């Protein structure tokens, strides 16, 4: 697996926006179009008001493709379901600071399994809530929409969290990635990258584009 650094611009199309009737073709299309990672949103209908897919989907993608699987658990009990997502072949697992679990223990379990550990926070959650864990993570994900559904517009005021994370990372000599998810287009990719985010999750702007390769290139160069 490539050794990703937080200075790399990483494009992670979100499977949520793909045509689920043709998942394997859609994953191949993303990879061939220049995707670095595949972002997989797991929703339990409880932590967020929507249900998506579980470990079987991730396992199937893992068995049929060679792409870095960036798994985002929008679920209430990430600690309970963790072993299943590790076994499915996730390369990175991001859990929410707001979920019902011991965050330090969950992050430690992910890393113990040799998987990268991410921590996400919702728009309503202040940056201070993640500060105690920033030395335990490989990626921080400040959500740029309220999670649960695709197609929402980008919340530019969340860039203050991205900037705060960049400053904290510098001050403490850390090297975690900063990912943004929600409403990412070539225009908002530019705003997010300027604030210091290096991992861009794109849903409809990637899978919904008539030319996905051009759309990914535009976000990479924004």
Task: Kindly report, residue by residue over 51-99, the tens digit of the pLDDT.
Answer: 999 999 999 999 999 999 999 999 999 999 999 999 999 999 999 999 9
What are the tens digits of pLDDT across the range 141-176?
Answer: 999 999 887 778 999 999 999 999 999 999 999 999
**Could you tell me if residue 5 is inside a domain?**
no
Contact 41, 15 (CB under 8 A): yes
23 occurs within a structural domain: yes
Give the count of beta carbons closer than 10 Å to the beta carbon of residue 182. Answer: 25
Q: Tally Cβ neighbours within 10 Å of residue 151.
A: 13
Q: Which positions are annotated as active-site residues?
A: 41, 181
CA atoms within 13 Å, Cβ hemisphere of 160: 8
> pLDDT class for 123, splitting at 50, 70, 90?
very high
How many structural domains compose the chain?
1
Residue 201 pLDDT grade (very low, low, confident, very high; cuts 50, 70, 90): very high
- Residue 1 pLDDT exceeds 60: no
From 12, 4, 15, select the one nearest 177 (Cα to Cα): 4
CA gyration radius, the chain: 16
Structural domain boundaries enclosing 72: 10-221
Kindly give the residue spans of alpha helices, DSSP state H, lying in 49-185.
55-64, 78-87, 103-112, 159-172
CATH code of residue 192: 3.20.20.70
Q: Is residue 167 part of a domain?
A: yes
Question: Do the domain assignments include residue 157?
Answer: yes
Mean pLDDT for the stretch of residues 2-23: 93
Examine residue 108 and state whether it is found in any structural domain, yes or no.
yes
- C-alpha distances (whole Å) from 51 to each of 18, 42, 68, 95, 102 are 15, 8, 23, 16, 23
1 lies in a domain?
A: no
Please count the helices (runs of H) and the strands (runs of E) in the chain: 8, 8
Other Cβ atoms less than 10 A from the Cβ of 131: the count is 13
Q: Is residue 149 part of a domain?
A: yes
């Amino acid at each position: 697996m490539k050794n990703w650094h937080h200075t790399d611009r990483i494009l992670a199309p979100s499977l949520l926006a793909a045509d689920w009737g043709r998942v394997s073709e859609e994953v191949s299309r993303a990879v061939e179009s220049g995707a670095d990672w595949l972002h997989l949103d797991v929703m339990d209908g409880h932590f967020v008001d929507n249900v998506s897919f579980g470990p079987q989907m991730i396992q199937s993608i893992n068995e049929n493709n060679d792409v870095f699987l960036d798994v985002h658990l929008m679920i209430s009990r990430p600690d309970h379901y963790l072993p299943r997502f590790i076994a499915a072949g996730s390369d990175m697992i991001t859990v929410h600071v707001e979920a019902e679990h011991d965050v330090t223990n969950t992050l430690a379990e992910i890393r113990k399994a040799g998987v990268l550990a991410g921590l996400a926070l919702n728009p309503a959650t202040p940056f201070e809530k993640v500060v105690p864990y920033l030395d335990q993570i490989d990626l921080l994900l400040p959500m740029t929409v309220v999670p649960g559904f695709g197609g929402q517009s980008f919340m530019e005021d969340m860039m203050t969290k991205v900037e705060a994370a960049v400053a904290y990372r510098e001050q403490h000599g850390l090297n975690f990635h900063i990912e943004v998810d929600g409403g990412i287009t070539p225009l908002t990719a530019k705003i997010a990258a300027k604030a210091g985010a290096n991992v861009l999750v794109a849903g409809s702007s990637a899978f919904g584009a008539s030319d996905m390769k051009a759309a990914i290139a535009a976000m990479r160069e924004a």
